[in-house]
A and B are shown apart, each in its own frame.
Chain A
């Protein structure tokens, strides 16, 4: 290709605003899979106006190619816009549920860490607990790191949702 430039592999945060119709997700996903992009996270839900949906997609791959893919997604008939917010000023949050195998001896320590990170304890049994954590992705990574000293039975993460700061639309 007569192109130079960065081959950055960082994760890009895209917001895609689409008509809430069947098949739209498949069309969007296909644009990425065709060029070998891996979708790292994906959150889809109805927008404020229920006839539309908002997708937040985390993808990694070459930036140069990604630019072209964003244009391709934008061009889909049911897509109103597809925007890369990676370098924008955004609020980025995700939620995780973490199930730990903890008995009475280390429960106190687990709760302490949990409290420090502002988690909620949403389930508690003799030998396990489920924590609910919300926050930006770095915070959740740090939390998971701290909890790795316990046996983690399950981890479910929603993936990031983003919103532009200020009055502008995402």
Chain B
């Protein structure tokens, strides 16, 4: 049905409204003025959040999407505005986060002629998007927007980029806003699982004596937590999760082993080494959990459930796989497996749990683990936690146990420093009533700390803990362990006074310096009710995260405790 013409920009805003969009995170510029103008002329109820940097906007959108499960929208200008989104797009792509990124572009006759602020963002982002568009005519906008949301949110989710030339957003659009999609090659719903595969999996499971369930991000995205719990309890199988799978099974549950892998719990890694069967529900067998892939779970049969056919066989050759939605397949599986007697196995793991608990010392210098552990207790595990990347991230994963699959937000696949603060802001926008805490390192925080302005402006009740060890801690840990303590390029000499920095943004700051004050200062932070507040935690400078599996080594070679003084370790062979 043709309608009176509206501008391309207005068509974009109307389409976003039709998709139920609440927020647009972004930054303005010449090439997107027609879209910004349309926010005024349409009098839209969508709220625009002006960030301080386009990277901040993408991570905010990302945090919003992870915390709510809804797709998030980013709007930035052409050229440098567009390229500033690259890190955020890549971060979302690696972790399968649904996101629509609208970039402005020069006018169509100028494209490819090095026009002012022109960047070929369509090609630049091609390896890190699920799909992308360069819009040629205003009338294509409604179809492309509908397709984008469909692509971003279905199957294995991911970011979609729409590059909109200025004459396209300024031009007339007469197309039906509900224009039909035209995606003949996109069949995300095909993974209709084969019942026979599930039947066979059930049979293999029923013969297992020492089963282990591994739940990944796919389990979180398909909301399989109830089904996993039902299955685990029925067959009495312990459950371990990946970093992004945290919460897919309640970590407070007696069958939970917490996270596995490089900095996973010793008992989870031992369970992988000793189990006779691994049921992988929606994890992509990232190298951070495999250790050395050739040595992974040598005694085990491997069953793999994944919605993405391209993930099966990528890292590990499973004995059996099933392509399908994690929730559906797990539910079906639970129907077919009998109850199992795994008493001996559970008892063996309980011993490991007693022998090798996650630990830290409360005495002596202030420890990140101590702060996180107390935060966990004081908030009863109910906070939405967003982390940055580094040692604090691993301690947060270990000590902030999560019972909710949407409460632990972290850049897993990309490991993007600078993610934590903006992601927490985005999450707080999406869930204004939930307690949200950003746990960040002093290094990563400084990559996006300017977004404090965004948090303050919107008076978000966000809590920020800067783990200030004056080092790029995780890199220093590697240099200490594997490069005979030759530290280089990791001393964050010149850090600002973070409390003063916060205050410059109008954000309340507290200092935390002594172990004895942890509860007191955390208490003040939690009670603060006038917008965002921040703790500058002067933690021990040279504390290290354990257990640790050196990159490229087998999980068997896990170091549970720090190595002896003077003990020389081989340089890691795996990826960073």
Which residues of A (83-119) have their CB < 8 Å from a CB of B?
A: none
In the complex, chain B residues whose CB is within 8 Å of the CB of A22 = 134
A3, A18, A26, A67: the one within 8 Å of B185 (CB): A18
Report yes or no: B184 in contact with A30, Cβ–Cβ below 8 A: no
CB nearest neighbor in B for A5: B317
Asked if A2 lies at the interface with its beta carbon under 8 angstroms from chain B, I say yes
Report yes or no: B308 in contact with A75, Cβ–Cβ below 8 A: yes
Binds A, one of B123-131, B229-237, B545-553: B123-131
CB nearest neighbor in A for B297: A2
Report yes or no: B151 in contact with A77, Cβ–Cβ below 8 A: yes
CA separation between A74 and B317, bound complex, in Å?
20
CA separation between A18 and B185, bound complex, in Å?
7
Asked if B296 lies at the interface with its beta carbon under 8 angstroms from chain A, I say yes
A2, A75, A77, A78: the one within 8 Å of B309 (CB): A75
The contact string, 1 if C-beta is below 8 Å from chain A, for chain B 300-314, is 001000001110111
The contact string, 1 if C-beta is below 8 Å from chain A, for chain B 128-157, is 001110100000000000000001000000
CA separation between A19 and B294, bound complex, in Å?
39
CB nearest neighbor in A for B290: A2
Report yes or no: B185 in contact with A77, Cβ–Cβ below 8 A: yes
In the complex, chain B residues whose CB is within 8 Å of the CB of A77 = 130-131, 151, 183, 185-186
Report yes or no: A75 in contact with B310, Cβ–Cβ below 8 A: yes
A103 to chain B, nearest CB (A): 47
Report yes or no: B126 in contact with A1, Cβ–Cβ below 8 A: no
B116 to chain A, nearest CB (A): 23
CA separation between A67 and B25, bound complex, in Å?
39
CA separation between A76 and B156, bound complex, in Å?
12
CA separation between A84 and B4, bound complex, in Å?
49
Asked if A80 lies at the interface with its beta carbon under 8 angstroms from chain B, I say yes
Given A23-B126, A68-B310, A71-B310, CB of A2 within 8 Å of CB of B183: no
CA separation between A8 and B148, bound complex, in Å?
39
In the complex, chain B residues whose CB is within 8 Å of the CB of A23 = 122-123, 126, 132, 134
Asked if A72 lies at the interface with its beta carbon under 8 angstroms from chain B, I say yes
CB nearest neighbor in B for A69: B310
B413 to chain A, nearest CB (A): 16
Asked if A34 lies at the interface with its beta carbon under 8 angstroms from chain B, I say yes
Asked if A27 lies at the interface with its beta carbon under 8 angstroms from chain B, I say yes
Asked if A79 lies at the interface with its beta carbon under 8 angstroms from chain B, I say yes
Given A23-B126, A30-B126, CB of A80 within 8 Å of CB of B184: yes
Report yes or no: A2 in contact with B123, Cβ–Cβ below 8 A: no
CB nearest neighbor in B for A23: B122
Given A1-B294, A71-B309, A77-B151, CB of A27 within 8 Å of CB of B315: no
In the complex, chain B residues whose CB is within 8 Å of the CB of A76 = 131, 185
Which residues of B (104-129) have their CB < 8 Å from a CB of A?
A: 122-123, 126-127
Which residues of B (290-338) have their CB < 8 Å from a CB of A?
A: 293-294, 296, 302, 308-310, 312-317
The contact string, 1 if C-beta is below 8 Å from chain B, for chain A 26-50, is 1100100010000000000000000
Report yes or no: B294 in contact with A79, Cβ–Cβ below 8 A: no
A76 to chain B, nearest CB (A): 7
Report yes or no: A78 in contact with B132, Cβ–Cβ below 8 A: no
In the complex, chain A residues whose CB is within 8 Å of the CB of B127 = 30, 34
CA separation between A3 and B314, bound complex, in Å?
9
In the complex, chain B residues whose CB is within 8 Å of the CB of A34 = 127
- Pick the most buried of B130, B134, B184: most chain A CB atoms within 10 A of its CB: B184
Given A2-B317, A19-B184, A71-B309, CB of A26 within 8 Å of CB of B126: yes
Report yes or no: B126 in contact with A68, Cβ–Cβ below 8 A: no
CA separation between A68 and B316, bound complex, in Å?
12
In the complex, chain B residues whose CB is within 8 Å of the CB of A67 = 313
Given A22-B134, A75-B308, A77-B130, CB of A68 within 8 Å of CB of B123: no
In the complex, chain B residues whose CB is within 8 Å of the CB of A18 = 185
Report yes or no: A68 in contact with B313, Cβ–Cβ below 8 A: yes
Which residues of A (1-30) have their CB < 8 Å from a CB of B?
A: 1-4, 18-19, 22-23, 26-27, 30
The contact string, 1 if C-beta is below 8 Å from chain B, for chain A 120-132, is 0000000000000
Report yes or no: B185 in contact with A27, Cβ–Cβ below 8 A: no
In the complex, chain B residues whose CB is within 8 Å of the CB of A19 = 184-185
- Pick the most buried of B122, B131, B185, B302: most chain A CB atoms within 10 A of its CB: B185
In the complex, chain A residues whose CB is within 8 Å of the CB of B314 = 68
CA separation between A137 and B148, bound complex, in Å?
42
B278 to chain A, nearest CB (A): 11
A1, A26, A80: the one within 8 Å of B316 (CB): A1
In the complex, chain B residues whose CB is within 8 Å of the CB of A75 = 308-310
CB nearest neighbor in A for B309: A71
In the complex, chain B residues whose CB is within 8 Å of the CB of A64 = 313
- Pick the most buried of A1, A52, A79: most chain B CB atoms within 10 A of its CB: A1
A112 to chain B, nearest CB (A): 49
Report yes or no: B293 in contact with A2, Cβ–Cβ below 8 A: yes
CA separation between A27 and B126, bound complex, in Å?
7
Report yes or no: B316 in contact with A2, Cβ–Cβ below 8 A: yes
CA separation between A23 and B161, bound complex, in Å?
13
CA separation between A78 and B317, bound complex, in Å?
28
CB nearest neighbor in B for A19: B185
Given A23-B122, A72-B310, CB of A2 within 8 Å of CB of B296: yes
In the complex, chain A residues whose CB is within 8 Å of the CB of B296 = 2
CA separation between A23 and B121, bound complex, in Å?
12
Which residues of B (186-214) have their CB < 8 Å from a CB of A?
A: 186
B118 to chain A, nearest CB (A): 17
CA separation between A134 and B185, bound complex, in Å?
33
CA separation between A64 and B184, bound complex, in Å?
28
A59 to chain B, nearest CB (A): 17
In the complex, chain A residues whose CB is within 8 Å of the CB of B131 = 76-78
CB nearest neighbor in A for B314: A68
CA separation between A52 and B184, bound complex, in Å?
10
Given A77-B185, A77-B186, CB of A1 within 8 Å of CB of B123: no
CA separation between A11 and B102, bound complex, in Å?
40
CA separation between A23 and B151, bound complex, in Å?
17
B132, B186, B294, B312: the one within 8 Å of A2 (CB): B294
In the complex, chain B residues whose CB is within 8 Å of the CB of A71 = 309-310, 312
5 further A-B pairs in the complex, CB-CB below 8 A; given A23-B122, A77-B183, A77-B186: A1-B315, A18-B185, A27-B126, A77-B131, A80-B185
Can you sample 25 A-B contacts with CB below 8 Å? A1-B293, A1-B294, A2-B316, A3-B313, A3-B317, A19-B184, A19-B185, A23-B126, A23-B134, A26-B123, A34-B127, A67-B313, A68-B314, A74-B310, A75-B308, A75-B310, A76-B131, A76-B185, A77-B130, A77-B183, A77-B185, A77-B186, A78-B131, A78-B185, A80-B184
Going nearest first, the 7 A-B pairs with the smallest beta carbon separation are A71-B310, A77-B131, A80-B185, A3-B317, A77-B186, A2-B316, A72-B310
Interface residue ranges, B against A (CB under 8 Å): 122-123, 126-127, 130-132, 134, 151, 183-186, 293-294, 296, 302, 308-310, 312-317
